[in-house]
Chains A and B, each alone.
Chain A
Amino acid sequence: MGSLLQVLFDALSLGSLYALGALGIALIFGVMRLVNFAHGDVIAACVFALLWPSVDAVAIIFAGNLPWYLLVPFVLAFGAALSVACEALVFRRFRRANPATMMIASFALGFVIRYFLLMLFSSRPKSVSLLPALSQPVEILGARIPLLQLITIAVTMAVLFGLTAFLRRTRFGLEMRAAAENFTMARMLGVRANRVIMGAFALSGALAAAIALILGSQTGTANIMMGASVMLMAFIATVIGGMGSLAGAVLAGFLLGAVATVMQVILPPEARAFRDAFVYGAVILVLIFRPQGLLSARGTRERV
């Protein structure tokens, strides 16, 4: 019972990370048809925003020492601002370019962010103790669940509810949904293209920051590659969710988290090192049978 519960919480918290990552990608894909490969590097940048630039192994904590009620808004705002800056400085120039060009631009931008971090902080992973109180375990029905896992799951649920309410109940949310379906038509109804796109980037950046906080607290390290592994799974989740479908991205994120966790448990120990290969195998199977994704979006047709 206890270990089953443990697996469930592992699956949910890993799935939460993937879902948050997939959501950040799907939001931007929805309004711009941009597959944003810089998203993982925005996550890394958010972790490093807590540190002073230095190439030493011991991190000099800067904002990381703030109490959590200041730390969290600071990181979220940083992620949103960085993401909006990416849009204003880079992606805006590529609005009318074809999706492949935009994708390559996002790769390039990701490298720029990564090497900028490399320059300031060196490639050595740094240990950071972010919100150390969260690593204490909590006893639930005989299982010892890390508090951080519970918070990760709770935060993800709150984000999902909040985002749904935002998209369904607010004027800006309505405009974003309309723009995601048919951007040109939305503009002909007076919806301001720049505002919608900036809004999507801000939300996506804040989601990246949330992942950064969770990863930073979980691993206790800051590493310029730390966004990459989550992002790979998150990209896969957006694809099997049906590009641009937000619900699909979230669902597929949790599904991938569950598959990865369950494989970790059921695979024979000598095969566990190859867990990800099994996960990708499952993904290929899904795509063979449902190439349009689990919940395919209506909006994948071309926009003008």
Chain B
Amino acid sequence: MSLLALSNVSVRYGRLVAVRGITFSLGEGEILFITGPNGAGKSSLLRAIAGVTPPSGGRIDFADHDITGRAPEDIARFGLAMVPEGRDAFGGLTIEENLMVGTGMHSATRGWKARAATELEAVYATFPILKDRRHAQAGLLSGGQQQMLVIGRALMTNPRLVAIDEPSLGLAPNITDQVYERLTALLAMRKLTLLIVEQSSTRAMMVGGRMMLMRGGEILLDGDARALGQSEAMQAAYFGYGEP
């Protein structure tokens, strides 16, 4: 049984169709990269999964629930942690407050506070810079630090699936390296399913896993990241050569 399954999902903004009937499924523990050029519909697809832009058609199942049209807070409570494009740290809250916002969703279960405290230490161990500045306002962090904060914040909710929209956006390559280094270290430590959106396939080829190529709201290719990344088909599909 897959963790996430989309069947024939579409997203429209008025008359513009951003995602055209996409179908795929993602198993527990998989890493999936979705790549594609500007305007391919990648962010729209993620927002549909997170419940922020409800799909105009199709069906989405996550963690044994039909989440089509459900509210973002319900989907988050089923175990989806979304890190949206542009990061969206709560700039006026401290770093620690940012990290704690999402832990409240478990407040109905016993021992959640102790678990949140353990989780907090784990996130601090992964991103020591956050611990050093835990009482500083998040708005004062650099772009790379904010990216670490929002990834840490997503992990604090104890998710089953983490979806990250362009973690490298606006970051210097060496900072992006750091972010990915931490992400892969995390994967080695805990059972996580990852869905990462990136424009280019370079990171996917470095990290490995599965890769899909999106363009014009459709999935054109789906396969092993390293194999696909080197293929001619990938280049052709990305830039749209040889199409009618």
Contacts and interface: CB of A to CB of B under 8 A. Distances in A.
A187 B76 contact: yes
Given A181-B90, A192-B73, A304-B52, A175 B82 contact: no
B101 A174 contact: yes
B139 A190 contact: no
Interface string B26-69: 00000000000000000000000010110000000000000000
Nearest to A186: B101
Contacts of A193: 71, 73
A182 interface: yes
A163 to B, nearest CB: 16
A187 B102 contact: no
Query: Contact residue range for chain A?
Result: 20 to 34
Interface string B67-95: 00001110011000110100010111100
Q: Which of B71, B73, B91 has the most CB of A within 10 A?
A: B73
A189 B71 contact: no
B73 A191 contact: yes
Contact of B104 (A177, A182, A190): A190
A189 B91 contact: no
A21 to B, nearest CB: 23
Interface string A171-202: 10011011001101111111111000000000
A189 B76 contact: yes
A298 interface: yes
A181 B104 contact: no
A299 B93 CA distance: 12
Interface of B: 50, 52-53, 71-73, 76-77, 81-82, 84, 88, 90-93, 97-98, 100-102, 104-105, 107, 139, 153, 157
Given A175-B104, A177-B92, A178-B97, 20 more contacts: A171-B104, A174-B93, A174-B100, A178-B98, A178-B101, A181-B90, A184-B52, A185-B84, A186-B90, A186-B101, A188-B76, A188-B81, A189-B102, A189-B105, A189-B153, A190-B73, A190-B76, A190-B77, A191-B73, A193-B71
14 contacts: A174-B93, A174-B100, A174-B101, A178-B98, A185-B88, A188-B50, A188-B81, A189-B102, A190-B104, A191-B101, A191-B102, A191-B104, A191-B105, A299-B92
